[in-house]
Structure 1
Amino acid sequence: MILKRAALIAGVLILASAGAATASTGADRRLIVGGTLASTSEAPWAIALTNSNSSKQSSRWCGATLVRADKIITAAHCMTKPADSYTAIQGRADLLDDETGRTSAISRIWIHPDYTNNRNDFAVLTLAQPFTGVPTLKLETDPKADRKGVVPTVYGWGDTEDTGPADTLQKAAVPDLGDSTCLADKGYVGNGYTAATNICAGYLEGGRDACQGDSGGPLVLNGRLLGTVSWGRGCADRGYPGVYAEIAPAAPILRTQLDR
């Protein structure tokens, strides 16, 4: 089954949060699988997005990236609830430790106008309380940055399938496999994979991958936001890499929102 890494939508591959309105498919995939613990000091721009409708004790929902003091980028498919139900959290490695980090409500949600069939899976959220003084991550604007052989790193608080503590910031290096790998799978193509809008990254042997709860989180290469967690088939399953929304093709329209 193809799952988004936020909520499970029947018949579609999505990767957002196990806590986000999950269709009754019986599947409950988990956080970055096979990763290692990450610190908020090494990734201060990594944002946890919680929601009051989440079934998780931590209210975990999705991931996001701080790209301006008052703007974060996440996945469009994470935006299924009212703006006032979301909270952005910065600087909190363990989501159950509410004595650390900073929080902000969301004052505005923008969804990419061409978001459809798992393509252009982007949303820009405006923070009611800017995270001033926190390093931000620059957008990757060169489409050539998505190329086979480079090894970006994905960050998130999502499910781990017992390879690490849940609700805790983790990271995993996921090699870029090139568009041809995902385009060779009819299921991926049928669920919207295109070279123009996506990045195919992970391990064909399985074992390491983003998962439910990681949707919208950062895929980072050379200090820039290369992509965001979007979807995949299962989590870390053999033969099925993760799919990321590619930043560079969308950078011009994203920037118009970031500068508002």
Structure 2
Amino acid sequence: MSSKRMRLALAATAATAAVFAGAGSAQAVDGPLPIVGGEIAHTSDTPWAIQMSNTNSPDPTGEYCGGTLVAANKVVTAAHCVEGTSTGEWTAIQGRDVLSDATGGKESKISDIWYDPDYGSGAHDVAVVTLTTPFDGVPTLPLNQDTGAGESGATATVYGWGDTEGTGPANTFQKVDVPLMGDEACSSAYGSDYVGAGEVCAGYPDGGKDSCQGDSGGPLVVGGKLVGVVSWGQGCADAGNPGVYSEVSTYYDELSAQIG
């Protein structure tokens, strides 16, 4: 059985250590290591991509997790990002390509956190946070309802900010295209750690392109819809170890109930 590494930025605080301890078999790594093998992206093209900054982040910009704007005041992210945290720790940032540019984009604090109550029992790594100040007028991304999308072999795009293991600039919005691999391939890679009824995976057999720590909660997009939420993987962009994403279609009803 492989050891999961939740794709959450590492913070050297007791509070964040508790988040890691509560994330199943997650292990801390040496630092935040987001999109690997990708290219520069622009939030003007994907305005629904949200950076979830946290006061416990070791990065001076607060870089921590990603999210997706699905309504003016609602952001879908990962349960392992928000479990054990409080609303006051978070700031949602929209429209900021380079996180060190504090004058760019919009910001909002968080007024409410919901995450799947079954998180921790296998998969269910989804959450919805409510913005104190809605991002009115910003385009949103619809949730995918097609339960067969993960088996389609389609090319998906995943987005995130931060260090890239030397493949791009730090704390800068990035994207990478990765093919959906299907449940059989993912089960072969991860055994019982992979939950086909609730997760999808994407990557290349030889590795090289992937999401990574710090991208947690961010969007995996196919055909203009949110297909997955960055969740976990073994290493980053390693051969034979694709990235694993929460399958949005599985949790469509629960997410829609929270979004309203």
Using structure 1 for the length normalisation, give the TM-score.
Answer: 0.91
Q: How many residues align?
A: 248
CA deviation digits over 1:203-223, x for unaligned, max 9? 110111001110000000000
2-side partners of 1:26 and 1:83: how far apart? 25
2-side partners of 1:124 and 1:198: how far apart? 17
2:149 is aligned with 1:145: yes
Number of the residue aligned with 1:189? 191
C-alpha spacing 1:27/1:118, structure 2 compared with 1 (3 Å)? farther
Number of the residue aligned with 1:43? 46
Number of the residue aligned with 1:156? 160
Number of the residue aligned with 2:77? 74
- Contact 1:159–1:211 (8 Å) recurs in 2: no
Q: Secondary structure at the match of 2:155?
A: coil
2:56 is aligned with 1:64: no
Q: Which runs of 4+ in 1 moved over 3 A?
A: 22-29
Number of the residue aligned with 2:23? none
Instruction: Give the unaligned 5+ runs of structure 1.
Output: 3-10
Comparing 143-152 with 85-94, greater Cα deviation is found at 143-152
CA deviation digits over 1:31-87, x for unaligned, max 9? 100000000111100000000111101111100000000000000000132111100
Number of the residue aligned with 1:6? none
Deviation at 1:158, TM superposition (A): 3.6
1-side partners of 2:259 and 2:115: how far apart? 12
2-side partners of 1:131 and 1:25: how far apart? 33
Number of the residue aligned with 1:110? 114
Comparing 24-33 with 113-122, greater Cα deviation is found at 24-33
Q: Secondary structure at the match of 2:195?
A: coil
- Contact 2:156–2:220 (8 Å) recurs in 1: yes
- Contact 1:159–1:212 (8 Å) recurs in 2: no
2-side partners of 1:221 and 1:118: how far apart? 24
CA deviation digits over 1:153-180, x for unaligned, max 9? 0000143101001111100001001110
Number of the residue aligned with 1:198? 199
Number of the residue aligned with 1:236? 237
Deviation at 1:141, TM superposition (A): 0.6
Q: Secondary structure at the match of 1:64?
A: strand
2:34 is aligned with 1:31: yes
1-side partners of 2:80 and 2:137: how far apart? 29
2:216 is aligned with 1:176: no
Q: Secondary structure at the match of 1:125?
A: strand
C-alpha spacing 1:174/1:26, structure 2 compared with 1 (3 Å)? closer
2-side partners of 1:89 and 1:142: how far apart? 29
CA deviation digits over 1:138-159, x for unaligned, max 9? 0001101222420010000143
Q: Secondary structure at the match of 1:40?
A: coil
2-side partners of 1:228 and 1:59: how far apart? 20
Instruction: Give the unaligned 5+ runs of structure 2.
Output: 21-26
Q: Of the candidates 167, 170, 195, which is equivalent to residue 171 of structure 2?
A: 167
- Contact 2:10–2:30 (8 Å) recurs in 1: no
C-alpha spacing 1:102/1:25, structure 2 compared with 1 (3 Å)? closer
CA RMSD in angstroms, aligned pairs only:
1.7
Letter in 1 for 2:248: I
CA deviation digits over 1:75-124, x for unaligned, max 9? 00001321111000000010110010000000000011121245010110
Deviation at 1:189, TM superposition (A): 3.1
Q: Of the candidates 95, 115, 120, which is equivalent to residue 124 of structure 2?
A: 120
Q: Secondary structure at the match of 2:5?
A: strand
- Contact 1:159–1:214 (8 Å) recurs in 2: no
Deviation at 1:238, TM superposition (A): 1.1
Number of the residue aligned with 1:17? 9
Using structure 2 for the length normalisation, give the TM-score.
Answer: 0.91
Letter in 1 for 2:164: T
% identical equivalent positions: 49
Q: Which has the higher strand share?
A: 1
C-alpha spacing 1:182/1:135, structure 2 compared with 1 (3 Å)? same
